[in-house]
Amino acid sequence: MKPALVVYLKECRESLRDKRVLLNALLLGPLLGPLLFVVLLRFALGHELDQAERPLPVVVIGAEYAPNLVSALRQQGLQPLAAVPDVETQVREQHVRLALRISAQFADDWRAGRPAQVEIIYDSSRRDGSQFDRLRSMLENYSLRTGAMRLIARGLLPSVGNGLLIATRDQATPQARGALLFAMLPYFLILTTFLGGMWLAIDSTAGERERQSLEPLLINPVPRGQVLLGKMLAAASFSLTSLTLGLLAFAVAARLLPVQRMEMSLSLGPRVMATILLLMLPLLLLIVIAQMLVSAFAKSYREAQTYVSLLQLVPLIPSIALSVLPLSPQLWMYSLPLIGQQLAMLRLLRGDSVSVLPLAACTLATLVATGAVFLIAQRVYQSERLAVNA
């Protein structure tokens, strides 16, 4: 039996007897992401849907000057609230969300065919901009309608008043809209990969050193690269298990979401899952060996835990960059480990296919990076300092 295989089997056996590893790698890691995801999304989606259907409460000042306007707005879902004194202050102090002031001259201007003034009083620093937009579009609708009627009354075609005819045609497919929603999913999956292998990566390196079993182990007539390889593969196995469970959990979670109501769908079928697993395999090795390298510099288990937790934030950077910057994926981006996988996963989840070339570039580049980090780790594990630090 190859020494790496001996080390691999021993690490797996030992870890399977460790409740803490099992709990973190096989339960918390895979489940925490999907659970958090479902709760957050249900909340966000529910909120969004309700807002569009619910009546819009607005404080209306001077409703008596324009009863026709108010009743037209009421038909569009506006719910007029009684006027309050000093409405500007009330809005600033967030007692009132949105107010509409109709000027006393409204009726005179209206009758004279002059633009009649209405004011929207709102606070743009409040998070909920959609209410303001709704009120504004209600008023614009009313304005256009009455404008058109006035032109007809004067014998003119209403379209004379329109310089432009604007139509918006959203090209997002239902899946694509779903993917926008699920833009964070790749990060959750990468995080699951991190958490799955983390405990073993730390325990079999910094932990082994702290428990003083590293020196006896390294006295065996086995090249250190073999020891490292065995440990890496053991941690990678746990990471892979964690990722598989995480994907399954997400597939179940996707069913619990009200995606149908949003006319969205998310492809997380067996084919997509298998492709994601295959795609993540080299990245998983890279993550695990990076965790082991970082742990090698730590004097204790706890110190290693701190370093590895910081390492965990690294994949967050491309995630945020990809969701904020409107980048269209280029081939060279696929050849960056972490970014390539996230881009490819995003496409796969949208129901798009990813062609062979980007997938190959992504896999190859990640494998090269893994090899490089492995060589560095091997050098570190050759050093005298590492073995005898008691």
Partner 1 sequence: MIQIERLHKRFGAKTAVEDVSFSALDGQITGLLGPNGAGKTTTLRMLYTLLQPERGRILVDGIDAAREPLEVRRRLAVLPDARGLYKRLTARENITYFGQLHGLAPSLLRQRTDQLVHALSMQDIADRRVEGFSQGERVKTAIARALVHDPRNIVLDEPGNGLDVMAMRGLRDFLRQLKGEGRCVLFSTHIMQEVAALCDRIVIIAGGRVVADGTPAELRDLAAEQSLEEAFVKLIGAAAAGALA
Interacting residues with partner 1 (CB under 8 A): 1, 3, 6-7, 10, 13-14, 17-18, 208, 211-223, 384, 387-388, 390
Report the residue number, 62 or 225, with the smaller CB distance to partner 1. Answer: 225
Indicate the residue type of 68: N
CB of 388 to partner 1, least distance (A): 6
Cβ atoms of residues 178 and 263 within 8 Å: no
**CA torsion sign, 33 to 34 to 35 to 41?**
positive
- Count Cβ atoms below 10 Å from residue 70 Cβ, excluding itself: 18
- DSSP, res 329: P
CB of 181 to partner 1, least distance (A): 43
Give the β-pairing of 118-121 and 99-102: antiparallel
**CA torsion sign, 376 to 381 to 384 to 390?**
positive
SS3 at position 60: strand
φ/ψ (deg, to 5) at 118: -130, 150
CB of 379 to partner 1, least distance (A): 15
Report the residue number, 1 or 153, with the smaller CB distance to partner 1. Answer: 1
Report the residue number, 4 or 346, with the smaller CB distance to partner 1. Answer: 4
Report the residue number, 13 or 95, with the smaller CB distance to partner 1. Answer: 13
Rounded to 10 deg, the angle between the 270-296 and 185-202 helix axes is 40
CB of 215 to partner 1, least distance (A): 4
Report the residue number, 99 or 203, with the smaller CB distance to partner 1. Answer: 203
CB of 194 to partner 1, least distance (A): 24
